[in-house]
Structures are given as structure tokens and as C-alpha cells.
Amino acid sequence: MTDKKESGTEVKLSLSRRLSALAELVPQGARFADIGTDHALLPVYLAFEGKIVFAVAGDINEGPVNAAKRQVAEAGLQEKISVRQGDGMAVLRPGEVDTVAIAGMGGSLMARILEQAGESLDGVKTLILSPHVAEDAVRRWLSERGYAIDDELLLEEDGVIYTLIRARHVPSVEEAREIDARLYDERVLAPSRERVSRALLYEMGPLLLRSPSEDFFRKWEQEIAKRERVILQLNHAVAPEAAEKAREWEEDVKEIREVLACLRGEKRSSN
């Protein structure tokens, strides 16, 4: 909860657990952009806390943009936060910000927004991302575009487990490759002989795998249950390709179970 007075107006602002966690990941002194800002809660909070020097709050829809403008005006922060309507990162000028947050959408859409950003990504050193599905699409894009993940966390709010990812741009191509090779080393579970495929590392998270929480295990038990329901549907389908697809999903579930068993074994041995 933030409760401050700006321009003689008292403003009360309460962030959800997820937005609070996103705020924690923003570097001090950032020039910040919140893409898909909704009511601009995150940039207003960060401005109040003195954590950012400037922000762009962007959204594609007129309703959220108008709500964001009201929020910013009530806080007296018009000179520090620019609210703009536009598609994805098209609201940004090249070099205008150094930190971008995108949350509240699927990973495939998030990766597409980043891919289409073009020059809007110029000067962006830090990406803070919270996809609600298809996290692998985000991690794959980061890996292929020279952004190295330096923080990952899971948190549960209202029965939903959210993934938060922070990645830093690595200017040197050679250094980016070296970091990427370490980050996505298939021997992540050493000294266990169990290897984790790169595809599963993208899905499960390279840092989350290295330090699994109870939320991590809960999330992946839920994911196994979802995939088993899909397998059941495929096994009842008449299409000839359904059987092959079911076998692929069964292999995925088997690999996830093996990884979880290995991680649980390591956790017991360290206690």
C-alpha cells in the first residue's frame, strides 16, 4: 500500500502481490515502460517510491488508457509518466527507456510483441516479463535475442501460480552465447545423471530448476494433470495423427516426472 500526497491530493494505491513482485525487479533509477499498463498502477507506484525517473504507460485499448490517464492525473505525475495508446511497444521511441515490463498475457503474444518491437528495443537493457502461459516462448525469444535471464520466481495469488522473469541484454554476442550455454546446460541436475532437454529448460525455467520452491512443484503437478487430460482426449480421437501426438505428450509427461523426482531427491538429501 502506498499512501502519499501529490499536488495537495491524497492518493492511495494498493498493488497485488504479483505487481509488487514486478516492482521489486525494476532497477533503481530506471527509465521505465509498462506495456499493457491497464490502470498504470505499476508506474504510478514506482514513481511514488522514487524508483524510476520517467515512465511510459502504454495500452492498445482506449478504456485502460483513459483509466491510466485519470490515475496519473490524480497522482499529479503527468510530468513523470506519459500515458499512450498504441499496439505493443510501438508506443515507445528508440532509446527512450531502458527497462520494459510486460505482464498479463500469454507468452506467445509477448514474444510476438518483442519480436515486432524493432527500434523500440534500442537501449532497453532490462526486460521484466510475466507470461501466464507459454513461458517457453518467452525464454526462447530471450535466448535467441541476446537477453540473459538473471532472475526467475513463482508466486501464488488467488489460486493462480504466476511466473516472473527478468532478463538483461548482453551487448557482446560471444558473451551472450557463453551465458546462454551455462544457463541452459542440460546437466543442470548434476551430480544426477538425469539430463534436462533444452525444450524442457525453456518450459520449466533454468533458474527455477536450480532452486525449486513448493510453488514450483505444485505448478508442475498441475501441468502434468492438464497434459494427462489432453492425452486422454487424444487417445479417444479418431484422427490418425492423434495417436502420434498422444505419444509425444506421454514422453513429455514422463520427462517432467523424472525431473521432479530427481529434484525432490536432491531436496530431501539437502535437508
Strand 126-131, strand 160-169: pairing: antiparallel
Rounded Cα distance between 224 and 254, Å, is: 9
Whole-prediction pTM? 0.92
Instruction: Sketch out the chain's domains with CATH numbers.
Output: 2-183 (3.40.50.150), 208-270 (no CATH)
List pLDDT tens digits, range 199-258: 999 999 999 999 999 999 999 999 999 999 999 999 998 888 899 999 999 999 999 999
Q: Does the structure show a pLDDT above 90 at 136?
A: yes
List pLDDT tens digits, range 18-50: 999 999 999 999 999 999 998 899 999 999 999
Q: What are phi and psi of 156, to 5 degrees?
A: -100, 135
Q: Does the structure show a pLDDT above 70 at 270?
A: no
Give the ranges where the chain is alpha helix by DSSP (H).
Answer: 17-25, 41-48, 62-74, 107-115, 135-144, 173-183, 198-204, 206-210, 214-235, 240-270
List pLDDT tens digits, range 152-190: 999 999 999 999 999 999 999 999 999 999 999 999 988
Position 201, amino acid = L
Rounded Cα distance between 203 and 252, Å, is: 11
Beta bridge partners of 3: 12
